[in-house]
Structure 1
């Protein structure tokens, strides 16, 4: 692996390992898929946390199945992010953060993804949610990464608000996010291309992913911590999986 992967963390959205366990190296055929996956990447984005809050013991098991340098990006529960009230669900925020605490030192990014219906008109509500999340994480163990789907968010007011909360803007390959600025000391980038295997299949997304990766190798040497995340099927050329997540 290139030396810069000490600060550039990559992984997939979900535990993406092709083939049955019988095709794994012999030492990993009797282990979990996550354990083998953790030998290929140094991070993973967990999407199941978006649909329900796992039991604390589930988070603890994930941590136990990976090495000491591995960490997890988890997506915040949709009952918090996909409502109009947002910060009003304080009990849900506390339950989520308490359960995720079982990851121990393997906490990476907390991915806070909003739906396209969430617009800049909810700036104060989003700010209140980030305040509530910080209160539920008094030790500041999580890096917060915010993903917007509506174009109205890509303004200086948004960047200022995120900076005030120490949160970074998620960069993805859709809409205005493609050219958004880096606003914090860490960046979560999501490349949701359907195929990086050949640029002829998805030239725009593939170019975006590779350009971001190139920028991160430079940026990380300047002191930022970067993590690209892409959604790419396994490509023989690059040996990369369906989704690559990095910060």
Structure 2
């Protein structure tokens, strides 16, 4: 099982002198970040479809064995709420296709007010364009989604249930795809907490061919440290 570990985002001026060397410009951050971690989760794509120039820059500034997980556009998850989204998804997939093998999963993060609609989820997954397709992960933030029916729909389409932990909610630890997607969002993790998560991930080796794990960025710059400790625990677990 290959592990892709990092933080949600990378371009934070608050990290200078803590993670980034002092004086690191914004333009140099991705290059440095990708020398330390194998992946990042991009929130930019939630609000805007990146230009071809942006995609080319992301690709050029990172090594071949780097992966970008992308957050699905809010037009899909928050405005349309998964209804009639084939056109925008086709446009989005084409826009990010230049990342080629550096494309990780596409995270569909649904609003906390969005309650379970199994039929809509099935219809949405079925309608996703096949050309330039990406793996899909779903972060449900309303508890009505956490049941076997939804898990089966995800499994039918090899879509991952995003396993998310924050100070407010923790999702079920269920594997529904050939890959795993974790968002560990608590503001404080002790080493035993990270060891526990590393053991959980290691135990999925027979189910997952790869796993993507992201820690919250935090202005205090604790995310990179959590990611490093977790990666070490997974290597030596």
TM-score (norm 2): 0.81
**Residue matched to 2:234:** none
**1:194–1:95 CA distance, 2 compared to 1 (3 A):** same
Instruction: Write the distance in 1 (CA, Å) between the matches of 2:7 and 2:170.
Output: 23
- Select which of 142, 163, 180 maps to 2:155: 163
**Residue matched to 2:106:** 110
SS in 2 for 1:82: helix
Structure 2: segments with no counterpart, 5+ residues: 232-237
**1:95–1:84 CA distance, 2 compared to 1 (3 A):** closer
- Select which of 107, 126, 129 maps to 2:121: 126
Instruction: Write the distance in 2 (CA, Å) between the matches of 1:100 and 1:119.
Output: 29
Instruction: Write the distance in 1 (CA, Å) between the matches of 2:107 and 2:125.
Output: 12
**Residue matched to 2:33:** 37
SS in 2 for 1:39: helix
**1:157–1:138 CA distance, 2 compared to 1 (3 A):** same
SS in 1 for 2:3: coil
| Cα RMSD for the two superposed structures | 3.2
Instruction: Write the distance in 2 (CA, Å) between the matches of 1:30 and 1:190.
Output: 25
Structure 1: segments with no counterpart, 5+ residues: 1-5, 200-205
Instruction: Write the distance in 2 (CA, Å) between the matches of 1:104 and 1:223.
Output: 21
- Select which of 164, 170, 173 maps to 2:165: 173
**Residue matched to 1:12:** 7
**1:221–1:25 CA distance, 2 compared to 1 (3 A):** farther
Shift of 1:195: 2.4
- Select which of 95, 99, 120 maps to 2:95: 99
State the number of aligned residues.
224
2:32 is equivalent to residue 47 of structure 1: no
- Select which of 206, 225, 231 maps to 1:239: 225
- Select which of 51, 55, 58 maps to 1:59: 55
TM-score (norm 1): 0.78
